[in-house]
A and B are shown apart, each in its own frame.
Chain A
Amino acid sequence: MAGEFFSLVRMPLIAFVGGFLVVGGWIWAPQISSLVQSQFSGGPSVSMFADTNRIGRPEVAPVVRSCIFKVMDIGVDATKMEPSAAYFILKAGSMQANVSTMLGKSDGWSEIQKGNLAASWGQLASCIYALEDRQLCDPDNRAAAVEATMKFFGYAKQIEGSMPGSDARAMENLRDRLLIVLKNHRRYGTLIASDFGSFAPAEILQVMRSEQKETRDICKR
């Protein structure tokens, strides 16, 4: 009986799934492509599998409001622009760089662009971490910190070796500073390994998964 039913529904099911894949694929292909790219090329975004109680919406985070215009030079429009829109511009620039990488267009210009993106995300992460530690107890703020950190490390890795000496040193210093800050936040319990997901750059995972036990959870105060 069950077999007969299955044989009856099999064809419409295949037709439906096939149709959905074709039409849905056509419509969602750009998003899927950029998602895959952001996961594996330009430093992943916030993990898709992260706990939603811990990781919120980075674009509306108060820390982004405080920091984004220190990183993005929007000009006179900055006063009229919503911080979440400026954050979106930074993300859109990252997507564009990811597409260039995907298409194999790795010329001088795209290297400079990646360098700028690494610097911007790094400055954003630094600015966020310079604020009060407890700010990262807020899921949106935490998401912004996680995303900025991962993007910085992702782009920094891509341009490794292709930067002039002074820029490379500055990038290295920023990287070291961020790793120290990450260690501290791990101890405070404001950031944990799962916030970064499984596709985080190796340096981050190394810090977040180190054996050292967290000493306190400042968010529970």
Chain B
Amino acid sequence: MDFLKRAAFVLGGIFLGINLINYFVMGHTGDYLPGGERMGEWRAAKIREACYPALEAPERDGLLPKLSTDTHRVDWRDLDRTRDMTAALNCYLVTHPNAVCERNNRAYIVDYINHYFAKFDEMMNTAKRYGEAEMSTVRKLWDSPRNRAINAALLQDTSSGRLIKADFGWSVPTAMKPMLDRYKGTSDNCPKA
């Protein structure tokens, strides 16, 4: 019995350690999204490769996020990441509106939506230290035509049941909670294969 307890603790420790490393170090947060009929394997998402061209030269897209002022405290790495994430999510949701209907794509897109809103929150938290002017700069940065198109697509996808609260599991982005709650119980209108 003692041996079994020890073995269980060792295995539990290894399991916990592997998962913590996978989540926090490797950043494979998609592994922890709910499974089931609606959600597939994020690694197998075809939309990821289909959208590589959208990420090739984001600087040429004038509709992507731009800083509205020269007097800001936004790091260029955050700025680049904002542009890349917006370009990618715009491709996943706006350019390919039906991509989210496929199980693997849905898992990948849900994970990406989490990262997208987490980045916005992180930048807003940094901006808070500098006051309202900096927060307004960051808000404007994330309010480009592409960001607005993403928001509209998210509203569309939640209202049509293509994205539901259960898809996000325990990690629902705060910004999406109201719309997911509002359209709770809507059955999806994805084209049937």
Contact = CB atoms under 8 A, between A and B. Distances in A.
Interface in B13-44: 13-14, 16-18, 20-21, 25-26
Interface of A: 8-9, 11-13, 15-16, 19-20, 23-24, 27, 57, 59-60, 62, 65, 81-82, 84-85, 88, 140
Contact of A84 (B9, B11, B76): B76
Given A11-B6, A12-B9, A27-B25, A60 B14 contact: no
B73 A60 contact: yes
24 contacts: A8-B5, A8-B6, A9-B9, A11-B10, A11-B13, A12-B11, A12-B14, A12-B16, A15-B14, A16-B16, A16-B17, A16-B20, A19-B17, A20-B20, A27-B25, A27-B26, A57-B75, A60-B73, A65-B70, A65-B71, A81-B76, A82-B79, A84-B75, A84-B77
Secondary structure at chain A's binding surface: helix, strand, loop or mixed? Answer: helix
Nearest to A8: B9
A83 to B, nearest CB: 8
Contacts of A9: 9, 13
Contacts of B18: 19
B74 interface: yes
SS of B interface (majority)? helix
A81 B74 CA distance: 13
Contact count band on B = 20 to 34
B145 interface: no
Contacts of A84: 74-77
Which 8 pairs between the two chains have the least Cβ-Cβ distance?
A: A12-B13, A16-B17, A82-B76, A85-B76, A60-B73, A84-B76, A19-B17, A12-B9
A82 B83 CA distance: 14
B124 to A, nearest CB: 15
A87 to B, nearest CB: 9
Nearest to A22: B21
Interface in B164-185: none
Contacts of A13: 13
Given A20-B17, A23-B21, A27-B25, A12 B12 contact: yes
